[in-house]
Amino acid sequence: MTDTKRKAVVLVSGGLDSATTAAIAREEGFRLNALTFRYGQRHEIETQAAARVAASLGVERHVFLTIDLRTFGGSALTDDIEVPKSGRVEEIDRTIPVTYVPARNTIFLAFALAYAETIGAADIFIGVNAVDYSGYPDCRPEYIEAFERLARLATKVGVAGTTFTVHTPLIALSKAEIVREGLRLGVDFSLTHSCYDPTPQGWACGFCDSCLLRRQGFDAAGVTDPIRYVGHVG
């Protein structure tokens, strides 16, 4: 029997957002082709989490792509810049933070587009969020719409009439809603990792922006976050 399911490229970082996004793509009937980047980030813990998440969701193929954005630096995730820590979500700086990696989503989506074109896929899934997104400009709906226009102009199949869709199922959800959706879909959040500055053992710091937003989401959803934290998150 011929498999009639459409292929999709899913960006999998190892975090709860990308895990939930991949689960949504699976529920929608797509054949999942995962793409994870080793981009010179501070640690390998998140790529290890990505491997666990992708395996748990039964992806067809998982590509790990190495690019070194440390060459440019300019971010606390790729340079010798301290990761900001806060005591509460309310204390997070709402300007674009130093954890922003210059043009990261544009770089990632460009590779995802190339991957999609080579496997005959017209669908890309990415777990960007415009609600609890720490001010990153490449997580906004208008950015995603612009990239879809670029995809039509910049690819052979786009010129021939293929319309690429960049799916952002979490873009308007709160972190609590993302947690609830992931649980509904059976995502094992114990496999995920979100912290910007974990311990060598892989424990989350508890105080970086990502930890604060993650824990707030679990608290608001009324469930316990299954990962281990060094510090208390208020």
Tell whether 161 is covered by a domain. yes
| Cβ–Cβ under 8 Å, residues 147 and 116 | no
pLDDT at 89: 75
The residue whose two tokens read 């912290």 is 195
The residue whose two tokens read 């896929």 is 121
pLDDT at 168: 98
Whether residue 70 is predicted with pLDDT greater than 90 in this model: the reply is: yes
Whether residue 23 is predicted with pLDDT greater than 90 in this model: the reply is: yes
Structure-block tokens of residue 29: 């009937």
pLDDT in tens, 192-219: 999 999 998 899 999 999 999 999 999 9
pLDDT in tens, 131-187: 765 568 899 999 999 999 999 999 999 999 999 999 999 999 999 999 999 999 999
> What CATH code is carried by the domain that includes residue 46?
3.40.50.620
User: Domain range for residue 19?
Assistant: 7-80+101-196
Whether residue 8 is predicted with pLDDT greater than 80 in this model: the reply is: yes
pTM here? 0.93
Q: Classify residue 171 as exposed, middle or buried by CB count within 10 Å of its CB (0-12, 13-18, 19+).
A: middle
Name the band, by pLDDT with cuts 50, 70 and 90, for residue 5. confident
Q: Give how many domains the chain has, as a whole number.
A: 1
Tell whether 210 is covered by a domain. no
How far CA 159 is from CA of 91, 109, 155, 174, 189, in Å, comes to: 47, 18, 6, 36, 40
For the chain, count helices (H), then strands (E). 7, 5
| Cβ–Cβ under 8 Å, residues 123 and 6 | yes
Tell whether 214 is covered by a domain. no
CA 56 to chain centre: 16
Output the DSSP codes for 42-110.
S-SHHHHHHHHHHHHTT-SEEEEEE--GGGT--STTTSS-PPPB-SSGGGS--SPPTTPPTTHHHHHHH
pLDDT at 95: 78
pLDDT at 130: 86
To the nearest whole number, what is the mean pLDDT of the chain? 92
Name the band, by pLDDT with cuts 50, 70 and 90, for residue 1. very low
Backbone angles phi, psi at 8, to 5 degrees: -140, 145
Name the band, by pLDDT with cuts 50, 70 and 90, for residue 233. very low
pLDDT at 128: 95
Tell whether 92 is covered by a domain. no
C-alpha count within 13 angstroms, C-beta hemisphere, residue 99: 20
Q: How many CB atoms lie within 10 A of CB 44?
A: 11
